[in-house]
Structure 1
Amino acid sequence: MTHHRKPRASRAGRKVAQLGMLAAACTAGFATASPAGATSSASTFTRQVGIAVDEAHAKAGPRHRVDYDDEFAIHELGTRLGVGARNRAVARSVGCSLDNPCRAIALSFQVVTTTGTITRLNATNTSRAVNDHCEGCQTFAGAYQFIVSTPYSFTLSRSARNELAVLERRLHDLERSREAVHVVKARADSLASEVVTLLRGAVAAAPRGADVNPLSSFRPTVTMRRHID
């Protein structure tokens, strides 16, 4: 897993809690489906579940009028029975005036790759932008989730990772932008489209080994989920 973001100590506790909830949600389905007398334990199920949790969080106010946070994470989960993926962007502007407005922008990009047939997929992608007593403030949150699913073993090549790193730097460069929110949104959408194109090319160029489960072979897919607020 490759993970890049601005460090925020307060976010660590939330991530631990989210990881636990996602793991429980995925493993619960397996446990209830197991026949009576099955020897597989809950800990075994947990090892077969892949978890990815990412969040960008920006908050602006009178003391800190401009805030920007971005997240660009890659999770290569491989072969799993279940996958829990949660991606979230939250932006909040609080208590600024029309004469001195605030600006808060949060953007989270999450890439998840999986191999084989997933018995249980728990994927959420959400964003929330709030102006709290903040007339004239610019507040934008965008969550972009990319799920790659292949029937055969697949890992991103070094070249693909280098290209994703370039897109990550371009996402981070938006921190310096003072353009209107609708322009930032258009740039984020454009970057997301480039991520999809890159991932599709990476899947198409990857060597095709034996299917993980030949009885449930399917076409490789790259799915983007987008939520903006």
Structure 2
Amino acid sequence: MKTEKITRHRAATARGGMLRYGVLASACLGTLVLATGAAQAFAGVGVAADGAHALANPGHRDVFSASFDVHQYGEVLAGSVRNQAEAESIGCSDRSPCRSIALSFQIVTMAGEQVHLNALNLSSAENVHCDGCETLAGAYQFVVSTPVAFTLSPQAQAQLQHIHAELNALSTSHASIAQIKADADALAAQVTALLRTASAAAAAGHAQPAAKSDDPLVTMHRVFHQG
């Protein structure tokens, strides 16, 4: 994992790839976490590790896991953020197939002149001795880089809560894997639009606006794997 130096408030890079642990835990619906910089950043360094993990097997043939986490760091010198979605289907038959879906949304806001950021966004989906099974893992990582620190307004936080509820509602959907993927993409687009509006409003309200090249930047990284 490389350390990237972010100048002029430009957002971090992130990499997508496959990462698999030996055992996956079957997970329930995620909760929304709204953290401030004071709560999460230590000595000017923000650290976050989030993820969704789903495991389907003959005992639990339809498993959906979602996480939705928001970290607000304010001004930092460095950051290390990791987001991961893992889904696995094991041991089902084509007569009674499994379906395993994991979706993870991670939102990080930070500010600073030269921020060193390690960012990883990972997904992994696998069918193991599972004929006819469907497995989907999607990881979305949103990094907001601003010239000055800002806090999401109560209205923006309420909108994020609504998006999170819509993400959780996918757990009861009987739609196809392709449709679930499209629905998740639509929710990600809503998050991106909300963050762009919120960060732009914060910059506009600053007493000394930054130069155009230092405008707030919202970067979204998306990685999907399907088994």
* TM-score normalised by the chain length of structure 2: 0.77
Within a 5 Å distance, the mapping from 1:1-229 to structure 2 comes to: 6=28, 47-206=43-202, 207-209=204-206, 218-229=214-225
Q: Which structure features the higher share of helix residues?
A: 1
Aligned length: 187
**Aligned partners of 1:153 and 1:208 also within 8 Å:** no
Give the C-alpha shift of residue 90 in structure 1: 0.2
- Partners of 1:183 and 1:118 lie apart in 2 by 40
**Aligned partners of 2:75 and 2:148 also within 8 Å:** no
**Aligned partners of 2:29 and 2:64 also within 8 Å:** no
**Aligned partners of 2:46 and 2:78 also within 8 Å:** yes
CA offset digits 1:3-37 (Å, max 9, x no partner): xx9489xxxxxxxxxxxxxxxxxxxxxxxxxxxxx
Give the C-alpha shift of residue 208 in structure 1: 3.2
**Aligned partners of 1:116 and 1:211 also within 8 Å:** no
Going from structure 1 to structure 2, the CA distance change for 1:209 and 1:48 (only over 3 Å counts) comes to: same
Give the C-alpha shift of residue 80 in structure 1: 0.7
- Partners of 1:72 and 1:143 lie apart in 2 by 10
CA offset digits 1:91-142 (Å, max 9, x no partner): 0000000000000000000000001224311000010000001111010000
**AA matched with 2:109:** T
RMSD (Å) for aligned C-alpha atoms: 2.2
Q: Which structure features the higher share of strand residues?
A: 2
- Percent same amino acid at aligned positions? 47
**Aligned partners of 1:83 and 1:118 also within 8 Å:** no
**Aligned partners of 2:113 and 2:147 also within 8 Å:** yes
Give the C-alpha shift of residue 219 in structure 1: 1.6
- Partners of 1:68 and 1:7 lie apart in 2 by 8
Instruction: Structure 1 unaligned segments of length 5 or more: list them.
Output: 9-44
**AA matched with 1:127:** S
**AA matched with 1:97:** S
**Bigger RCO of structures 1 and 2 (CA < 8 A, at least 6 apart):** 2
Q: Report the secondary structure of 2:120's partner residue.
A: strand
- Partners of 1:98 and 1:60 lie apart in 2 by 14
Going from structure 1 to structure 2, the CA distance change for 1:160 and 1:46 (only over 3 Å counts) comes to: closer
Give the C-alpha shift of residue 154 in structure 1: 1.0
Q: Report the secondary structure of 1:178's partner residue.
A: coil
**AA matched with 2:73:** L
Going from structure 1 to structure 2, the CA distance change for 1:7 and 1:166 (only over 3 Å counts) comes to: closer
**AA matched with 1:79:** E
Indicate the residue corresponding to 1:23 in structure 2. none
**AA matched with 2:205:** R
- Structure with the greater alpha carbon radius of gyration: 1
